Amino acid sequence: MKDPYAVLGIERGATDAQVKDAYRELARKYQPDGGATAQSAEAAAKMDEINAAYDKIMNERRRRGTVYDAFDDDTSSAFQDVRSLIQGGRLEEAQELLDGVPPQNRDAEWYFLNGTVLYRRGWLDGAYTSFSTACRMAPDNPEYRTAFQNVQRQASGQGYNPYRTNRNMGGNCSACDMCSGLICADCCCECMGGDLIRCC
């Protein structure tokens, strides 16, 4: 593999912020929705090389303990990192960064980005809840409102109800139905000399 610092066009002594800035700039240039030239196979290969270089640098720095906790110093910069990862299709890494935010520090932007990751993974229930929370916390933000309306529109076309389980995941079964089913199963087991739920 090429020198990751050379791939990002930075010096070895670059700060974490400079590494992230270099990565963001290159990601904007080569990511799939970055323009007509970004659609080519060369651009996709270049983006893979950029991602690998960034990962290598940051993983080395993590091992040495030199990467700052992104959400301690500059939340807006950290959220920009999450947006870049989402745009680059790196949903796992975006979710890892978001999960690192303590619950008491999760603001409307956090819920919006979390909803975006979940939506792109096809998890409508979680996306609906996160977008709804973002809109409740920042009702005047048009980006949050649009995302929430999109998930509502898509979900309504599928007969979606956020308070019901997904039809593909076991029908219209509620928590009460599951609990009742377990109690019945336990009674049947006890009649035959077994014990499904030991506390009952």
In a structure prediction context, what are the per-residue pLDDT tens digits for the chain, which is 200 residues long?
688 889 889 888 888 888 888 888 888 887 765 454 545 778 788 888 888 888 888 877 776 654 434 454 455 667 888 888 898 888 888 888 888 777 888 899 999 999 999 999 888 888 999 999 999 999 999 999 999 999 988 877 655 454 444 444 444 555 666 666 667 666 665 666 666 556 55
DSSP 113-146: HHHHHHHHTT-HHHHHHHHHHHHHH-TT-HHHHH
pLDDT in the model for residue 117: 93
Instruction: State whether the Cα torsion 106-113-91-151 is positive or negative.
Output: positive
pLDDT in the model for residue 132: 92
pLDDT in the model for residue 158: 56
For 15, phi then psi, to 5°, come to: -75, 165
**Residue 158 DSSP label:** T
Residues 118-157 as b/e (b if ≥16 CB within 10 A, e otherwise) read bbeeeebbbbbbbbbbbbebbeeeeebeebbeebbeebee
pLDDT in the model for residue 173: 56
Contact 103, 114 (CB under 8 A): no
Contact 152, 128 (CB under 8 A): yes
pLDDT in the model for residue 19: 86
Contacting residues for 104 by C-beta, under 8 A, at least 6 apart: none
Query: Can you tell me the distance from the alpha carbon of 21 to that of 24, in angstroms, rounded to the nearest whole number?
Result: 5
Residue 174's Cβ-side half-sphere holds a number of Cα atoms within 13 Å equal to 7
Look up the pTM and report it: 0.48
pLDDT in the model for residue 5: 87
